[in-house]
Amino acid sequence: MQTPHAQRQIYRENLDSATTSGVCDGYLQANMITLPSRYAFDFLLFCQRNPKPCPVVDVLEAGQVNPSIADADIRTDLPKYRIYKDGILEQEALDLKGYWQDDFVTFLLGCSFTFERALVEAGVSLLHQEMDKVVPMYQTNIACERAGGFEGEMVVSMRAIRKEELDETIAITSQFPLAHGAPIHIGDPAEIGIQNINHPDYGEFTPFDNEERIPVFWACGVTPQFVGLKVKPEIMITHAPGHMLITDQKE
């Protein structure tokens, strides 16, 4: 297994752009969102009011590119980024060299990929890893608490868990509050506003046997991307869903 530093070098040289799920097990992974500084206070307040989808693990000052939790450059060391302008996705990119601004403030938020290692070590079956897919993510009708212009509904990630492994899954994930913690919903997706589980809003659907497994939903760090788009900042940069910053911090 690569060390986090070695893996980030691979991303820096644009040699790999696959999902980071299951990569560098044992190390904290982080969602990233970068905004012009005039949005930073309201966004930080939004995260504080909504810690389940937005657990803050690091905040970089304006123009800063080196986080405290990794010997990294956030402009190059994630496998894939998304660039939004005025609330519209402009493109995905492998680095931010052509986009960086001195007034950018970057937030790093905990990611559910962090608890997946503990689940796998406990013998819990994770279909998206077994199928080499990006975990499916869905927009819901669960309202987040507003802060300034930041408001909207929560995004969740879904893992279809074997029924006999459900209690263990809940117990394990609840030990990782910086990685969204315990599930927020179990069972019928329609109860949280998901009309068609076969068509996620982000990531890739992982087919499962409804007799054997039950859908389990966790708060997701894509939530601030979805909420941020309603603000329509002139520019907003995020990780591509499923493509995180691998930090040097142990889980």
Indicate whether 148 and 171 sit together in one domain.
yes
- Residue-by-residue pLDDT tens, the chain, 251 positions: 789 999 999 999 999 999 898 899 889 899 999 999 999 999 999 999 999 999 999 999 999 999 999 999 999 999 999 999 999 999 999 999 999 999 999 999 998 888 888 899 999 999 998 998 889 999 999 999 999 999 999 999 999 999 999 999 999 999 998 889 999 999 999 999 999 999 999 999 999 998 999 999 999 988 988 898 889 999 999 999 889 999 998 87
CATH number, residue 213: 3.30.2040.10
- State the residue range of the domain holding 36: 4-111+228-250
Q: Are residues 173 and 120 in the same domain?
A: yes
Same domain flag for 160 and 182: yes
User: For the whole model, what pTM was predicted?
Assistant: 0.87
Whole-number pLDDT of residue 212: 95
Q: Are residues 53 and 89 in the same domain?
A: yes
Residues 202 and 188 in one domain: yes
Q: Bridge-partner residues for 158, per DSSP?
A: 217
Q: What is the 3-state secondary structure (H, E, C) of the chain?
A: CCCHHHHHHHHHCCCCCCCCCCCCCCEEEEEEEEEEHHHHHHHHHHHHHCCCCCCEEEEECCCCCCCCCCCCCCCCCCCCEEEEECCEEEEEECCCCCCCCCCEEEEEEECCHHHHHHHHHCCCCCHHHHCCCCCCEEEEEEECCCECCECCEEEEEEEEEEHHHHHHHHHHHCCCHHHCCCCCEECCHHHHCCCCCCCCCECCCCCCCCCCEEEEEEECCCHHHHHHHHHCCCCEEEECCCCCEEEEEEC
238 and 146, same domain (yes or no): no
Residue 190 sits in the same domain as residue 133:
yes
- Same-domain status, 69 and 140: no
Domain count, the chain: 2
Is 24 found in the same domain as 104?
yes
